[in-house]
Amino acid sequence: MLLSKKVIVITGGASGIGYECVKAYIKEGALVALLDVQQERLAGAMGEIGSQHLGLHCDVSDEDQVKVSIAQVLQHYGRIDCIHNNAGIASPSKPLHETSVAEWQALMNVNVFSIYLTTRYALPALQESKGCIVNTSSMVAQMGQAHHAAYTATKGAINALTKSMALDYAAYGIRVNAVAPAGVWTPLLRSWTAEQPDTAGIEKYLDEIHPLGYCPEGDVIADACVFLVSDKARFVTGCILPVGGGAELGYRR
């Protein structure tokens, strides 16, 4: 198995892309610690994956909670081989000038500041294991997106962070990469789609923005993340890996 006995900490791991990654990591032999603020979903995920893995309620934008969670993982497993910074929020959907200060700060705190926190507190363990970091970015970091300026700004920041962190931590043998999906069917996207006046039209649009012809489930992102975490990617660092069915070549609509 590609990830046998590796200890992987994943934020936002209780649903969506995060939980698909959790299942893929476990399938490849990893021990996984899920950090998530959604207690109900966290409990549900832990009920499915079993007690050999660790579920920690954690607001990743809160320094004390991240510090305590990393310490708990180390106490439980004795090591950390990977931090997957996956937690993120996308709201609000509005232009920049309509975004409130509180909305801006929430996006920056959850999507970007959390990466600073996990890195700060997990770095000594990653130095010891010569581990890796994976950040969940998005295609919109490169392409932009109407009515999502604050969100796209956080994803652009993640790309820049990924490259700079890769340079900083290469000396320790730590690899840092990011995965950049386009559209992905998650519970959040399905809920949003169901609320639209033309649900069928929205689904057709989401299929058509991907040149390969369909909007994927989160498992395709998880497979890419397994590769980035594994020794198969041992000479890959500073990479922003697009997993968008060709959407990075330009949306067809």
Q: Using one digit for the tens of pLDDT, what is the confidence trace for 9-46?
A: 999 999 999 999 999 999 999 999 999 999 999 999 99
Q: What is the pLDDT of residue 86?
A: 98
Q: Quick check: 251 pLDDT over 70?
A: no
Of the candidate CATH numbers 3.40.50.720, 3.40.50.300, 3.30.420.10, 3.40.1050.10, the domain formed by 7-184+217-249 belongs to 3.40.50.720
Given the residues 25, 151, 169, 251, the one annotated as active site? 151
Closest to 114 measured CA to CA, from 144, 82, 154: 154
- Between 94-108, 131-145, 167-181, 239-253, the lowest mean confidence (pLDDT) is in 239-253
Closest to 116 measured CA to CA, from 156, 170, 63: 63
Kindly list the distances between the CA atom of residue 125 and the CA atoms of 18, 96, 104, 210, in Å, as whole numbers in the listed order: 22, 38, 32, 39
Closest to 154 measured CA to CA, from 218, 205, 85: 85
Residue type, 142: Q
pLDDT confidence of 248, banded at 50, 70, 90? confident
Residue type, 136: T
Q: Is 151 a catalytic residue?
A: yes
Q: Quick check: 253 pLDDT over 70?
A: no
CB 52 within 8 A of CB 71: no
CB 103 within 8 A of CB 81: no
CB 87 within 8 A of CB 94: no
| CA-CA-CA-CA torsion sign (109, 16, 6, 162) | negative
pLDDT confidence of 189, banded at 50, 70, 90? confident
Rounded Cα distance, 156 and 141, in Å: 4
Residue type, 104: W
Q: Mind giving me the DSSP string for 175-191? A: EEEEEEESS-B-HHHHH
